[in-house]
Amino acid sequence: MKRSRIVGTGSFVPPRVVLNEEVGKPLGLNSDQIVALTGIRTRHWAEPGHASSDLAAEAAQRACEAAGIPPRSLDAILVSTTSPDSAFPSTACHLQRALGADSVMAFDLSASCSGFLYGLSMADAMIRSGHLRSCLVVAAEVKSRSLDPADRETAVLFGDGAGAVVIVQEEAVEPEAAGILGVRLYAEGAGHGLITIPAGGSRKPSGEETVRGKEHLLRMRGSAVFRTAIRHLEQAIVDLLKEFGLSSGDVNRVIAHQANARILEQLRRRLGLPREVIYSVIERYGNTSSASLPIALDCAVREQRLAAGDVVVLAAFGGGLTWATGLVRW
């Protein structure tokens, strides 16, 4: 039986560190208040001239090095981003050029903060079907360019960064073999207005009026997102474990979208998980949208927080609305 397995991870954040004092001052918030609200102490922002593909290239190189697979040997490159270099061509094609991976299939996908798991699901399906033998899945975001410094709902949350994994096809002879067991995807378009950039697309093109109204900047209804994310993710994780005949006690590690430390804590309590099971890097990097999960995964790998045979739950929630879960035996 063919199964896909993650054989390399990588991540990258820009060198510029942005402290709570910088983002909090225009809002009248001090660092302790921001930590209490979000769990975030620092985030990283890209310098002018650096785009999502630049961050993606750094993370991808590290993932390929960890996997021992040169980029030119890949069969496909998938990039999740809500902050592409440009409307087109795809950020994935910019990344392919940067990696020197000539003729490798490359395309973008957009599922907001759930995008990495959407990409992982596509790669897993193509590998299981035999269409691919290897795939690079990258999530890269430069969210700092879409922030309104006067907006309390978003200004303190977001950072920039990229995370990547290399997935390969393996024959899983034993039922307990390492690999991706399954990824489950969900969406609820009726909630599209909870997290959005109102202008800049074909429905409302950018112009002088939209710029004056700051409609090209990120908007979020924080309280509604908080409640909805916890409800959907809790149920989705419960359903995923039940599908594979597991319980919360079988889970060794949960690596979820780093949206807000309070969401992670509420999710942990509702699932009845020990505190040490939830892995988080939000204190260091903030919310990096779809890049947050693969960044956290790479940090966990490099800090040796995952052991062979561990049952790992992946989970994400974002605009769309979209949410997703994944189950991996490490």
CA separation (Å) from 284 to 44, 45, 170, 191, 296?
8, 12, 35, 29, 10
Tokens 């020197």 sit on residue: 100
8, 133 contact by CB (below 8 A)? no
Do 161 and 310 form a contact (C-beta atoms < 8 A)? no
What's the angle, vertex CA 139, arms to CA 137 and CA 141, rounded to 5? 160
- Is 94 a catalytic site residue? no
How far is Cα 196 from Cα 111, in angstroms, rounded to an integer?
12
Alpha-helix residue ranges (DSSP H) falling in 215-260:
222-243
Cα separation, 237 vs 117, whole angstroms = 14
| Cβ proximity of 292 and 113 under 8 Å | yes
What is the rounded distance in angstroms from the CA atom of residue 22 to the CA atom of residue 246?
45
Q: What does DSSP assign to residue 47? A: P
* Strand-pair partners of 186: 323
| Count of beta carbons in the 10 Å neighbourhood of residue 49 | 6
Active site residue 260: no
Among the listed residues 146, 159, 123, the one whose alpha carbon sits nearest the alpha carbon of residue 326 = 123
Active site residue 20: no
Q: Which of 135, 257, 260, 299 is catalytic?
A: 257
Tokens of 114: 């759930």
Cβ contact 194:228 at 8 Å:
yes
Whether 127 and 4 have beta carbons less than 8 Å apart is answered as yes
Q: Which of 20, 93, 94, 113 is catalytic?
A: 113
**Catalytic amino acids?**
113, 257, 287
